[in-house]
Structure 1
Amino acid sequence: MLPWIQLDRATIPGDGGELRLKQRGSEFSIMLGSTELMNSRLSGSEEALATLCCERISGRKGASILIGGLGMGFTLRAALGGLPDDARVTVAELVPAVVDWARGPMSDLHKGTLDDPRVGIEIGDVGALIRSRKNAYDAILLDVDNGPDGLTRASNDGLYNHSGLRAAQSALRANGVLAVWSSAPDSAFTRRLRGVGFATDEVNVRANGERGGARHVLWMATKR
């Protein structure tokens, strides 16, 4: 078996630790310490996050979408595949190196999505971007950290607590959708979504789609 080769490392702002990009043949992995955050062989649940969300906002003209976290680009690529030419997708990525990796060693994986005219990149905290916008987005997709029970930054909790959910609700247009990815169920998060007024569906998906893999959870929360 081919050995893993470390290609690069990057510090997460706010004392979030260090990301490491590794490669083994055509396979890529992004690690935080000994924890694998992403693997290029496992894309099913990230793609489902975008696909299910785009289905819920289909037919809207000039739809504006915010994706929190670029990662390996699976969510972005699936979103572009489900959106019309007049849509606008903003990707907020906290770690600049992740964008560099997308344009560099993982460019074949991203398949030119960052050069799509519908796409804009914002380097910074997606939470700050959400809090600065009112009635701006038809959908907000959060593929940040490990979900509501985060690993990398304590400040990510601010995306998923009551205050963060109210900010997302304010940033969404009427009937807008907040779509959230998580590596595991979180009944308390479901209650918080409903408590701030979202109509919420919880969807169980597999990490590798129809081919199986670990079970992940998606929330599709619609602004009433």
Structure 2
Amino acid sequence: MTPEMLDRIGAYVWALDYGSALVFALTGALVASRAQLDIIGFIFMASLTAVGGGTVRDLVLGRDPVFWVAQPELILIAAGAAFLVYWTAHLLESRYRWLLWLDAIALAVAVPAGIGVAMAGGFGPVIIVIAGVITGTMGGLMRDVVGNEVPLVLKGSELYLTCAFGGAVVALMLAWLGLPRALALTGGGGAVFLLRAGTLIWGWSLPVYKPRPPRMRG
């Protein structure tokens, strides 16, 4: 792979990080509106959601510094998203519905961003998939826990982790088949969004564990 190709891929992953940070920030601010926080609370929730997943990813992969320390403008983007939602959230008919769809978009962007970072670091398939899942899910998990919401990642009916994992595997397989890395990442992100959209529109789900009473031994 030539230096020019590496530069293009790096720019693509950089754009994915920025895109996921922006959309995740909007979801964090929507949760802040549901919790009726002040503007500082909005900024905190937006920033936490925007960079939470990427921060955990970078710490796990040993990247120094983590991405938003090297690119502090991401916090300004999150703050801008917080101000936007602070002044417009009351115009939305269903903030939770907006939250779900924006979160689906953010998940579809963040998972390939994490995969691209791990690929660029030369990690193996297992770590690449884990990096994608972490980047896509941890920010939303932090958002929901701090915002006193039931975390989407823990709702079996939402297929949240399944969507992130499935998209990461698709991206990895496309790269293994020889597709250019940018196309493989795009395909993985598309798979994430299609799976998530299926859960929101058609109620796709997987069987969940149901405990059974212990058998009586005679």
Same-fold call, TM > 0.5? no
Higher strand share: 1
TM superposition score normalised by structure 1 = 0.29
Higher helix share: 2
